[in-house]
Chains A and B, each alone.
Chain A
């Protein structure tokens, strides 16, 4: 199986008032298709920076990053926007839905930037909402939805473009445990359908869902644990391969 993601010696330094913060300090990481990875580590250890790096929101200060063979570290802003749009689905701790738009319009948004015609957009957005069981709430605005529902809308938005990878940075961090469990079910399903999922979490029982756990400390990968069997049952297996 081909590698999807290859980080080699990736560093990301921040200059905070003359002091250099090494948010990422030499990361080597390879991710294959249909992996389910959790990232753990104390606050400030560089988890979010790593997710942003993988998600092409950020570029390395040093090192190389290849995504499906494309050299991300050499890309300009437009290329980065395009790869984020086509290949990456983000899920944030704070949902980050646009408050004035309905669930449907929020989910539709990435397709607008992908220049998909309106009819197709609506259809795809509805399918994505169906996947997170929120079709009946598609005309609701975020403030008319519960936290768990909002996060599911965010997940629908992340997967509507059929991305290569879904990145969820503490997706359950702002949710009660019941809503959190719902979200984890959705992520498990996505993985089982053949998607590649990375999630950041503080909770061991959430990290358990993944089959591979990265422990990060001071911007470095301290531990990379691969379990043979993921905890979740595999029901459907539809492997995603690069187009």
Chain B
């Protein structure tokens, strides 16, 4: 036990005696650990913002559109697909028992102004009251529009959090008038703050008006989507139902392909998984490469160290050091060099994750990752130290004492 404590002390002082060399050899380990921790931090940050974004898309909501979100069809295969129609919503709701709610969503960009203030490039959605259910939307202030307002084409508007902030800095927007082009709308509600989708699309930068109003004031054609909330226990059955209903409405023959797409959160997930694999694969590749190179470097330096200290090893053996205690001393030395590299790597990664957090997206380095990194460095150290330590342990004491 005392010998073990001494081994630690001797190993540390040997490293201290060769600071620069130890520091340089540890570079590979530093890079390797940096790569693995940064990658982990990145992925965990991505995971978090991805999951947050996914909460805008319900697991049990199907998004029926002309195109697949991440389809692999060529553009000419899909460009001639007919537009979706708002009438489908009622058909889908009445013909499938798995459908809980459905809302058509039409969208265009618009400028909304009030007095001198103008909110430019707002995503303006035309939808129905059931959008509240399909989009998991909460109204902070006021209310959402009603079916009646939808039918009558009332000029009412629900504005996003950022739009409200811009146009009504310190005032209550409810009941106030805003203008879109030359149409005047009455603000009836403000949506709660929702943040960005996948860190890119600002959801708070939008406004919603009744679908009926949208169709009356703007084009009847154009981009449209149907959001369908289904029974979470029967998502597949619901998809089959909807496919059948739409095929019937479109009059497709059995041999013909679907000319619409039923999208789901899963599509994003699959896409995300692929990206994650790519990041993870690259990170692991860099990590393994650096650790192997770093490990070989440390093995090399340990061989040099053993050679330089041959005489010392001889002396230690002459006064009673066992092969095991010599082995232990050199193994610890390799271990500490690597652990040091691991610490530096983790520290740098910590700095890096602060930068990512500040400038790219929210992320923190998971503590388990730091621990795993240090464990990995230790393992590399022990593996790299094995052969040189064994050589030291097996040195013949007499030869070692005669070594010049």
Name A residues whose Cβ lies closer than 8 Å to a Cβ of B: 52, 55, 57-58, 77-78, 81-82, 84-86, 90, 92, 96-98, 100, 109-110, 112-118, 121, 157, 161
Contacts and interface: CB of A to CB of B under 8 A. Distances in A.
A112 B319 CA distance: 10
Interface in B291-329: 311-312, 314-325
B311, B319, B322, B324: most-surrounded residue (chain A CB, <10 A): B319
Interface stretch (B1-9, B79-87, B177-185, B248-256): B1-9
Contacts of A55: 318
A225 B20 CA distance: 57
Given A92-B401, A96-B311, A113 B325 contact: yes
Contacts of B312: 98
B3 A113 contact: yes
Given A86-B320, A113-B322, A96 B401 contact: yes
A114 B322 contact: no
B152 interface: no
B318 A112 contact: no
B398 interface: yes
Given A78-B324, A90-B318, 13 more contacts: A52-B398, A57-B317, A57-B318, A57-B401, A58-B398, A78-B322, A81-B320, A96-B311, A110-B319, A112-B2, A112-B6, A113-B320, A116-B2
Contacts of B13: 100
Interface in B314-370: 314-325
A90, A92, A112: most-surrounded residue (chain B CB, <10 A): A112
B323 A85 contact: no
A112 B397 contact: no
21 contacts: A52-B398, A55-B318, A57-B317, A57-B318, A57-B398, A81-B322, A90-B318, A90-B319, A96-B311, A96-B314, A96-B315, A96-B318, A96-B401, A100-B17, A110-B320, A112-B2, A112-B6, A113-B3, A113-B319, A113-B321, A115-B2
A108 to B, nearest CB: 9
Contacts of A57: 317-318, 397-398, 401
Contacts of A117: 2
A81 B317 contact: yes
B314, B318, B401: most-surrounded residue (chain A CB, <10 A): B318
A78 B319 contact: no
Contacts of A81: 317, 320-323
A90 to B, nearest CB: 5
A84 B398 contact: no
A57 B397 CA distance: 7
A131 to B, nearest CB: 17
Contact of B2 (A86, A92, A110, A118): A118
Contacts of B321: 81, 85, 113
Nearest to B6: A112
B320 A82 contact: yes
A84 B318 contact: yes
A58 B398 CA distance: 7
A209 B317 CA distance: 29
Contacts of B6: 112
Contacts of B324: 78
B17, B312, B315, B317: most-surrounded residue (chain A CB, <10 A): B315
A115 B3 contact: yes
A78 B326 CA distance: 11
A110 B322 CA distance: 11
A110 B314 CA distance: 13
A98 B321 CA distance: 14
Nearest to B14: A100
A78, A84, A110, A113: most-surrounded residue (chain B CB, <10 A): A113
A153 B350 CA distance: 49
Nearest to A52: B398
Nearest to B400: A57
Contacts of A118: 2
A243 to B, nearest CB: 17
A98 B323 contact: no
A56 to B, nearest CB: 10
A57 B3 CA distance: 21
Interface in B377-402: 397-398, 401
Nearest to B315: A96
Contacts of B316: 109, 113
Contacts of B17: 100
B1, B3, B314: most-surrounded residue (chain A CB, <10 A): B3
Contacts of A109: 316, 319
Contacts of A92: 401
